């Protein structure tokens, strides 16, 4: 981390060297395909507008010379730039115009559908894009030799997605230690290793490799990176607020300067979470400082007051009366606060009582099902023997129905406590965006997210685990709901948390 801190401080020096390389390349003349290709490589993931310019120059030069190979390579460069810019339809159209379906073609389409999947707020579309991304990734793996670094990247991504983290780490470390691996590829290898270690729960190794990847990204002047802002979020979770804020601010500066749009939906929520928490920490410290100043001022005032009271009896009596009036006012305020707390405790008690009953009911039903299942297995064994019992045990267990029952129980309990919740939520949304669950459901995913907020659960990671959806889906739903609210976006979730009066019957 200390090395990363030093590299961030020297970021302007690396940028200066980058500009010198670009200026030197431009001396070769912009009519040369090779010069334009080298400039495209320099600007790619550094300045997307300039990368687009040199990609179009490459297309024009290759077309003029009638070189089909260079022309299609340039078209794929252009498609890659469109993806980074968030112009997905243009990227798809450009890529599909190429006739040579080689590794570069599969790489571009894999990147395109990966971006589409992450940006989609609809579950069915997200699944469709994920399926296409996997298909093009498999085609990419099949089109490359096992020694190629692109093969290792694609395969490790697939292994990480499948949960085979140890296998992914093994092939990545082997490739990193291979002397033939280009130095420019090692930041991406470190990033993939960090993802694998994070997936297996080894936070220390994940943070180490994210830091190594971020160091190389900054040294190579790559502005479109993920390592630094993911590291910032992990440090935020560890409570290292100062360093997390420093890293996310650096990442935001580079992200804006690159003009890349493809990961905005992933980046901005993390930036907002960290900066808001950091600002609260700063405000807390400022409040503490202000409190100390107030206390000192009060002490000074008391000393002066006591001195005056000793000399002027009349002033002392008047001051005592004023303090008595103030005490009465404070007592009245405290009484109102106690009443408010009492109501909140009643609400909390009712919520605990309702969900404890639901938990006991759900657990009892589950025990009954287990007993029924056990008896069924025993009868199978008695009637048909061990072979049939083994076949019965090997049958997959479908938990979809159990999950449905669990959410049904949650919905019933919540709507029993807050019977007007759906109407109250819709009153906070614009008329064109009203939440209505399906006929066979009491609530949908968006309503459950808002229900969790009403119950005091505001952490997106906890919501993701409870609702069994991705973290990005939670962020997308919360952002969309704020966008469609008929009040200030910043006030929406606060107003949700205060919806309705609990049913205490």
Position 425 confidence tier, pLDDT thresholds 50, 70, 90: very high
* CA separation for the pair 245, 321 (Å, rounded): 50
Q: Do residues 51 and 44 lie in contact, with contact meaning Cβ atoms separated by under 8 Å?
A: yes
pLDDT of res. 336? 56
CB atoms within 10 A of CB 125: 13
Interval 371-390: pLDDT, tens: 676 677 778 778 888 877 77
Paired with 429 in beta bridges are 485
Q: Do residues 150 and 140 lie in contact, with contact meaning Cβ atoms separated by under 8 Å?
A: yes
pLDDT of res. 91? 94
pLDDT of res. 327? 56
Q: Tokens in use for 96?
A: 């599909």
Q: Tokens in use for 300?
A: 């000074």
Which residue has better confidence, 311 or 490?
490
Interval 335-375: pLDDT, tens: 556 445 444 545 554 555 555 445 545 555 655 566 676 67
* CA separation for the pair 370, 385 (Å, rounded): 21
* CA separation for the pair 271, 85 (Å, rounded): 20
Residue 429 is given by DSSP the state B
Query: CA dist 137 to 140, 143, 164, 185, Å?
Result: 5, 10, 17, 18
Position 286 confidence tier, pLDDT thresholds 50, 70, 90: confident
Q: Do residues 100 and 72 lie in contact, with contact meaning Cβ atoms separated by under 8 Å?
A: yes
What is the overall mean pLDDT for the chain? 84
pLDDT of res. 360? 44
* CA separation for the pair 318, 151 (Å, rounded): 85
Interval 491-503: pLDDT, tens: 999 999 888 755 5
pLDDT of res. 265? 66
Phi, psi angles (nearest 5°) of residue 240: -85, 75
Whose structure tokens read 């919501």?
A: 463
Query: CA dist 78 to 41, 53, 191, Å?
Result: 12, 9, 25
Whose structure tokens read 């759906």?
A: 422
CB within 8 Å of 165: residues ≥ 6 apart: 159, 196, 197, 199, 200
pTM score, two decimals? 0.55
Q: Do residues 437 and 443 lie in contact, with contact meaning Cβ atoms separated by under 8 Å?
A: yes
CB atoms within 10 A of CB 109: 26
* CA separation for the pair 496, 435 (Å, rounded): 14
- Three-class SS string for 384-416? HHHHHHHHHHHCCCCCHHHHHHHHHHHHHHHHH
The region of weakest confidence among 36-40, 158-162, 279-283, 356-360 is 356-360
* CA separation for the pair 504, 342 (Å, rounded): 13
| C-alpha triplet 207, 211, 214: angle, nearest 5° | 135
Interval 437-465: pLDDT, tens: 988 889 999 999 999 999 889 999 999 99
pLDDT at 76 over 90: yes
* CA separation for the pair 235, 211 (Å, rounded): 11
pLDDT of res. 368? 57
* CA separation for the pair 360, 367 (Å, rounded): 10
What mean pLDDT do residues 395-408 have? Answer: 76
């Amino acid at each position: 981390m200390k090395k990363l801190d030093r590299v961030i401080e020297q970021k302007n020096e690396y940028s200066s060297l980058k500009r010198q390389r670009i200026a030197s390349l431009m001396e070769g003349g912009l009519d040369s395909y090779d010069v334009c290709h080298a400039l495209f490589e320099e600007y790619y993931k550094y300045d997307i507008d300039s990368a687009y310019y040199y990609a179009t120059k490459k297309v024009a030069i290759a077309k003029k010379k009638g070189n089909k190979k260079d022309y299609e390579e340039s078209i794929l460069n252009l498609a890659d730039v469109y993806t980074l810019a968030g112009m997905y339809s243009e990227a798809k159209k450009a890529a599909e115009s190429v006739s040579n379906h080689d590794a570069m073609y599969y790489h571009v389409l894999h990147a395109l559908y990966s971006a589409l999947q992450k940006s989609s707020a609809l579950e069915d579309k997200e699944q469709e894009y994920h399926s296409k991304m996997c298909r093009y990734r498999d085609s990419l793996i099949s089109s490359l030799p096992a020694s190629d670094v692109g093969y290792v990247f694609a395969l490790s991504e697939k292994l990480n997605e499948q949960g085979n983290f140890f296998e992914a780490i093994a092939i990545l470390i082997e490739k990193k230690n291979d002397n033939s691996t280009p130095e420019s590829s090692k930041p991406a290898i470190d990033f993939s290793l960090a993802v694998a270690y994070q997936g297996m729960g080894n936070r220390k190794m994940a943070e180490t490799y994210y830091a190594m990847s971020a160091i190389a990204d900054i040294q190579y002047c790559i502005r479109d990176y993920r390592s630094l802002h993911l590291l910032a979020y992990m440090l935020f979770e560890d409570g290292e607020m100062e360093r997390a804020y420093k890293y996310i601010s650096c990442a935001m500066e580079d992200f804006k300067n690159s003009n890349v749009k493809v990961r905005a939906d992933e980046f901005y929520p993390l930036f907002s979470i960290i900066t808001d928490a950091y600002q609260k920490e700063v405000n807390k410290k400022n409040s503490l400082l202000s409190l100390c100043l107030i206390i000192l001022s009060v002490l000074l005032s008391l000393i002066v007051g006591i001195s005056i009271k000793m000399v002027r009896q009349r002033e002392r009596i008047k001051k005592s009366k004023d303090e008595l009036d103030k005490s009465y006012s404070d007592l009245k305020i405290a009484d109102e606060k106690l009443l408010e707390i009492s109501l909140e405790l009643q609400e909390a008690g009712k919520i605990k009582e309702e969900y404890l009953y639901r938990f006991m009911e759900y657990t009892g039903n589950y025990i009954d099902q287990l007993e029924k299942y056990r008896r069924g297995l025993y009868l199978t064994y008695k009637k048909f023997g061990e072979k049939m019992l083994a076949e019965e045990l090997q049958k997959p267990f479908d938990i979809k129905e159990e999950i449905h029952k669990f959410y049904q129980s949650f919905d019933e309990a919540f709507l029993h406590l807050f019977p007007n919740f759906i109407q109250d939520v819709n009153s906070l949304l614009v008329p064109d965006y009203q939440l209505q669950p399906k006929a066979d459901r009491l609530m949908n995913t968006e309503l459950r997210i808002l229900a969790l907020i009403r119950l005091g659960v505001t952490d997106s990671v906890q919501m993701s685990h409870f609702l069994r959806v991705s973290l990005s889906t939670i962020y997308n739903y919360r952002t969309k709901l704020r966008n469609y609210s008929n009040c200030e976006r910043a006030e929406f979730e606060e107003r949700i948390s205060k919806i309705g009066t609990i049913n205490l019957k």
